Structure 1
């Protein structure tokens, strides 16, 4: 089992935590990760794009010019896609892009990215994150102290408004709960910052 240092908000080593190999030590499954990310991005699409086909555009009642003698190609309607202002061929229409993937595949993908973060030394565990009031400057200092001042995803076991608001204005930093974290967000951030309680909860849920 992997052992990771536990830091405090000042960046000091205050202990260690042993991570379960079933969650943080598996061989990453690239197919599961790719399929889960693709599913996540598809589910984020609004699907509201729309364009008119030739049956929906205005016009088309009269032949635009005579059949012969103009030197142009013959044309019977102004709604033809080849005409300016005509319809769109295979025009996109509003649709739902959502689909689901098996729960076992999602769990495997999550374990894969968590294991990759551990093996890549991109997982940081802090004993706790506590702020008396929302302070962006304090959060910036904390992230610098624990060497997570690049793109970082902060995962907590339960919501703390002071932590969320302190991180909300920092570019490249996002917060999440154990119940809401996802494969795409973990991959999209350089550092994964877990509170000790969050790390224990992840092992309890996914082991």
Structure 2
């Protein structure tokens, strides 16, 4: 079973834990990760894009010039797509882009990216992410001590308002909780910083 050091907020080792082989040591599936990320991004789309077709654009009821004898191409309306101010061909309309993928694919994708972080030594386990007061300066000092890089993903076992308020103004930092964890955020981060309790919950859900 893969082992990882447990650090305090000063970056010092306080313990060592064994990670579950069925979550952090599986055979990775790139295709499952691709499907999960594509699904996540599609579900984030608002689907509010809208443009007018030639039937919806105002005007254009009168024929611009007679059919024959002018030497110009025949035209039936000034609102045809080739005209300035005309309608759009196959205009996009509001629609729902969301769709579902199998739960097994989601689970495989999540375990694949967690395994990847563990193998690349981009998984930092902290004993407890507790702060006395919401202070951005203190949060930056913690990130520096843990050597998290520019885009860390902080995962706590449950919602921690003090941690969220401390880190929400720090560029590149993403703070989430176990029940909000998704494949895209894990892949999009340089380092995954996770508490010991959060590790236990992740293993409980995905093992």
Q: Does 1:175 align with 2:175?
A: yes
Q: Does 1:72 align with 2:72?
A: yes
Match of 2:16? 16
Match of 1:188? 188
Output the CA distance in 1 between the equivalents of 2:22 and 2:166.
33
Q: TM-score, normalised by structure 1?
A: 0.98
Output the CA distance in 2 between the equivalents of 1:122 and 1:69.
75
CA contact (8 A) 1:140 1:149 kept: no
Match of 2:138? 138
Task: Give the Å deviation of 1:163.
Answer: 0.6
Match of 2:56? 56
Helix, strand or coil: the match of 2:180?
A: coil
1:99-148 superposed Cα distances (whole Å, 9 cap, x missing partner): 00011110100000000000011000000111111011111111111110
Q: Where do residues 99-138 of structure 1 align in structure 2 (5 Å cutoff)?
A: 99-138=99-138
Aligned CA RMSD, in angstroms, stands at 0.9
Count of paired positions: 207
CA contact (8 A) 2:158 2:177 kept: yes
CA contact (8 A) 1:157 1:197 kept: yes
Q: TM-score, normalised by structure 2?
A: 0.98
Unaligned runs of 5+ in 1: none
Output the CA distance in 2 between the equivalents of 1:5 and 1:69.
86
Match of 1:97? 97
